[in-house]
Amino acid sequence: MSSTQSVGSAGPRETHLMCPSAQPEMEGSRVLGVVGAPDAPQLAYLNQYLPVTEELIAMTQPAKATQVMRFAAPCQEKACCHFDGANCNLVTRIVQILPAVTEALPPCLIRPTCRWYQQEGRHACQRCPQIVTQVDDPDDRMRMAAEGDGLRMRGPREQVASTRDVSASL
């Protein structure tokens, strides 16, 4: 994790597609938005670049940072269980399984370099506000969108995604 940095409205230039459902400890991670009420979570997108710092993560305690915020970071591609070598299967399932929650595109800072947008276009953006990384009791559609058919994480996160904690999947 990086140390405290100044927050600017533009942020660094992206040369890599960004994952809008990253983990806070991933290199280059930034806050994409803040999660609303737990009973009907909806993402409130930030309007300026905010890097992840240890201080920021500490402010979410005792909750997990992924219950309070959603993060974006450079797509891990082959290191991610959702990536098939060309596409993100997570966003494919999200678009196929979950309903749109908005007609208008949300005000998103990463859209120009968002892997989900590049792959699925506005259909991904119309579902994005309902995606929360840490869901304690996901419904069947959210679980299927997150986990697919019994996905396994690759690399250091070798674990089967739990049905109670889909943080490894979303």
> Is position 5 within any domain?
no
What length is written for the chain? Answer: 170
Better-scored residue on pLDDT, 6 or 63 = 63
Q: In whole angstroms, give the CA distance from residue 103 to residue 165.
A: 29
pLDDT over 80 (residue 167): no
Phi first, then psi, for residue 88 (nearest 5°) are -95, 110
What is the token pair recorded at 16?
A: 């890599």
Assigned domain for 137 exists: yes
For the chain, the average pLDDT equals 82
Q: Is residue 7 part of a domain?
A: no
The interaxial angle of helices 140-147 and 89-97, nearest 10 deg, is 160
What is the C-alpha separation between 59 and 67, in angstroms, rounded? 12
* Residue 6 resides in a domain: no
Residue-number span of the structural domain to which 88 is assigned = 18-168
**pLDDT one-digit tens code per residue, 79-118:** 999 999 999 999 999 999 999 999 999 999 999 999 999 9
Q: Among 18-27, 30-39, 81-90, 147-156, where is mean pLDDT lowest?
A: 147-156
Q: Say how far apart CA 149 and CA 155 lie, in whole Å.
A: 19
111 within domain boundaries = yes
Both tokens of residue 116? 């989900």
Tell me, yes or no, whether 160 lies in a domain.
yes
Q: Which of 5-9, 60-64, 135-139, 160-164 has the highest mean pLDDT?
A: 60-64
pTM greater than the 0.85 cutoff: no
Domain assignment present for 127: yes
* 37-60 pLDDT per residue, tens: 766 778 999 999 999 999 999 999
Domain count of the fold of the chain: 1
Residue 4 lies in a domain: no
Q: Look at residues 66, 77, 35 and name the one whose alpha carbon lies nearest to residue 166.
A: 66
